[in-house]
Structure 1
């Protein structure tokens, strides 16, 4: 069985800037690493729900539909924007596109900028996810 989240995480880690973030513990799924220092940049990928059946044929699903939230946090606003652009371009190569909604804010409590966006995509036909 394939795992789309692992595939996306690996695709992101192939980028040198994101690999550097991963090496500090800043690339994570589901939630930001709790022990990561407040001034460290982080990228968190969270599924918004389980994969959904799509491409129906003869009472069977031929593919899966995925929706992920990608949240980037950093103390520098332009770092967040640059990384979201990189993430968007990488996810496009995997067939994922940005959806409406998200978050673009500065949180004074954490002193970090946060840019969170939703991306959706489908598996290829006949792949087991």
Structure 2
């Protein structure tokens, strides 16, 4: 299962996110400093999937940990996008995980909200 594409497609299923960030939802790729013409959303895995939930001593699920950053020049848009990202992540089985960042860079005028999400999914052998 390509979990990054599951997350990406989930984000695009939200009309507000789609309207604000189409073409600016990236994997691993952070926006250039000071060059934010519109909102950016960055999906960043914090490690490879880990085996989880065993049956007959065989892993049947993978455990994923992602950080999703929202970058904009408008605080309210940053907050709304982050709220919508969290809703989408819940809908695909991810919960909020400890950590994260809520910051404003005065020099660039950029607001950043970064949250970590953790979730499990059946391995390809056991997908239902």
**Number of aligned residues:** 126
C-alpha displacement of 1:80: 0.8
TM-score, with structure 2 as normaliser? 0.88
Q: Does 1:88 align with 2:86?
A: yes
Q: Distance in 1 between matches of 2:6 and 2:33?
A: 25
The gaps in structure 2 that reach 5 residues or longer are none
Q: Which residue number in structure 2 is paired with residue 45 of structure 1?
A: 43
Q: Which residue number in structure 2 is paired with residue 56 of structure 1?
A: 54
C-alpha displacement of 1:59: 2.4
Q: Which residue number in structure 2 is paired with residue 127 of structure 1?
A: 127
C-alpha displacement of 1:108: 2.2
TM-score, with structure 1 as normaliser? 0.88
Equivalent residue runs for 1:1-129 within 5 Å: 2-23=1-22, 25-34=23-32, 37-124=35-122, 126-127=126-127
